[in-house]
């Protein structure tokens, strides 16, 4: 993250790189999420038949040993998921919390979560598509270099398909294609 935050990074592009990553849930972050007032939580995403999904800004600044003077603090956005009927999750909890860490302050919390997730969806879904739909599950050779090239081509094909979907299709069709094809 320090490399991403440094706008004068060595061996890389200059300027700001916007990022959003899933934050590790520490005890301190969990306590900060629990302290968010109820009025701050807002619904996000499409309505789910069994769950209530909400998000909120979290005023949280972790203690970082590598924090540099003059560095803009990062932003934490919490996600809260509850069952509509008050049922318990499999682990016995009533609520699940997650958090996203970002340097993008210009987006509303709900839009930040959407942006974070629209990059490729869940990793498991991407692995499944690359492995089973784009041929990376069966390597063509006994040679490491050839297999590495095959895997790279499958990942490039996935990225090209995602780009085509996002830039060539109208928004309403792009959503339908994602639901049918997985990407």
The pLDDT-based confidence of 166 (bands split at 50, 70, 90) is confident
What is the rounded average pLDDT for all residues in the chain?
82
Domain housing 131: 123-181
- In whole angstroms, what is the distance from residue 100 CA to residue 102 CA? 6
Over residues 32-57, mean pLDDT:
89
- In whole angstroms, what is the distance from residue 130 CA to residue 158 CA? 7
Residues 81 and 144 in one domain: no
Residue 138 confidence (pLDDT) above 70: yes
The pLDDT-based confidence of 154 (bands split at 50, 70, 90) is very high
Evaluate whether 44 touches 109 at the Cβ level (below 8 Å): yes
Residues 54 and 108 in one domain: yes
Q: Which two tokens stand for residue 25?
A: 């849930």
Its pTM stands at 0.63
Residues 94 and 175 in one domain: no
The pLDDT-based confidence of 149 (bands split at 50, 70, 90) is very high
Q: What is residue 180's predicted lDDT score, i.e. its pLDDT?
A: 44
In 3-state terms, what secondary structure has residue 150? Answer: helix
Beta strand pairing call for 75-83 and 42-43: unpaired
Over residues 100-104, mean pLDDT:
91
Q: Angle CA(38)–CA(113)–CA(10) in degrees, nearest 5? A: 125
Q: Which two tokens stand for residue 80?
A: 């809260």
Q: Which two tokens stand for residue 9?
A: 């990074």
Q: What is residue 13's predicted lDDT score, i.e. its pLDDT?
A: 84
Residues 81 and 53 in one domain: yes
């Amino acid at each position: 993250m320090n490399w991403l935050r440094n706008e004068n990074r060595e061996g890389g592009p200059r300027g700001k790189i916007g990022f959003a990553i899933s934050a590790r849930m520490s005890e301190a972050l969990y306590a900060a999420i629990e302290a968010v007032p109820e009025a701050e939580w807002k619904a996000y995403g499409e309505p789910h038949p069994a769950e209530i999904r909400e998000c909120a800004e979290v005023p949280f600044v972790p203690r970082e040993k590598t924090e540099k003077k003059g560095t803009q603090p990062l932003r934490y956005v919490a996600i809260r998921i509850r069952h509509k009927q008050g049922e318990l999750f499999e682990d016995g909890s009533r609520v699940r919390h997650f958090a996203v860490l970002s340097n993008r302050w210009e987006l509303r919390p709900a839009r930040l979560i959407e942006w974070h997730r629209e990059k490729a969806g869940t990793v498991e879904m991407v692995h499944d598509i690359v492995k089973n739909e784009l041929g990376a599950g069966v390597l063509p050779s006994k040679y490491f270099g050839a297999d590495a090239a095959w895997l790279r081509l499958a990942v490039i094909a996935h990225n090209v398909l995602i780009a085509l979907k996002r830039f060539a299709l109208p928004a309403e069709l792009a959503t339908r294609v994602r639901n049918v094809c997985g990407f």
